[in-house]
Amino acid sequence: MKTAVYRKSHFNAAHRLHNPDWDEVTNKLVFGKCNNPNFHGHNYELIVKVTGEIDAETGYVIDLSVLKKIVDNHIIHKLDHKNLNLEVPEFGILNPTAENIAKVIWHILRPQINHTLDLTIILYETERNYVEYPA
């Protein structure tokens, strides 16, 4: 049987929900306040879940201090105190919804984690709204 380990991090960012293929009226209708062209922002809580066998020598699935460094270097450094739409290339076209942010994080982290381990991203946009990828 496998074991999952979870590591929680956080970052703060500004964003705007917007589909460049739509006109302003449609964007406003679909995304409401989240379409504000001047941006708004969130404290994102990021939980990285790694699933695999417990190593017999260390008692770890993955060393959480190693996982923390991977997350800090590849995700927090890239997203913290940033404007997602303007400063993070992945969201040049892709709409930075919580769903898409989680998916982008997964694709960045996947090559950094041993392929024998499963990876899941849980992302809280607010205390009451959060997403999980893959589910």
Residue type, 98: A
State yes or no: is 34 an active-site residue: yes
Q: Which residue among the candidates 15, 18, 42, 125 is catalytic per the annotation?
A: 125
State yes or no: is 42 an active-site residue: no
C-alpha–C-alpha distance, residues 22 and 42, integer Å:
25
Token pair belonging to 91: 């969201």
Minimum Å distance from CB 16 to its own copies? 9
Angle 91-122-98 (CA atoms, 0-180°, nearest 5)?
Answer: 35
Q: Which residue among the candidates 45, 81, 107, 115 is catalytic per the annotation?
A: 81
C-alpha–C-alpha distance, residues 16 and 59, integer Å:
43
Question: Which residues of 30-78 form beta strands (DSSP E)?
Answer: 40-52
Residues in contact with its own copies by CB under 8 A are: 1-10, 12-15, 17, 19, 21-22, 30, 32-34, 36, 38-43, 51, 54, 57-61, 63-65, 80-83, 86-87, 94-100, 102-103, 126-135
Gyration radius of the chain over CA positions: 17
Minimum Å distance from CB 112 to its own copies? 18
Minimum Å distance from CB 71 to its own copies? 11
State yes or no: is 125 an active-site residue: yes
Instruction: Indicate which residues carry an active-site annotation.
Output: 34, 81, 125
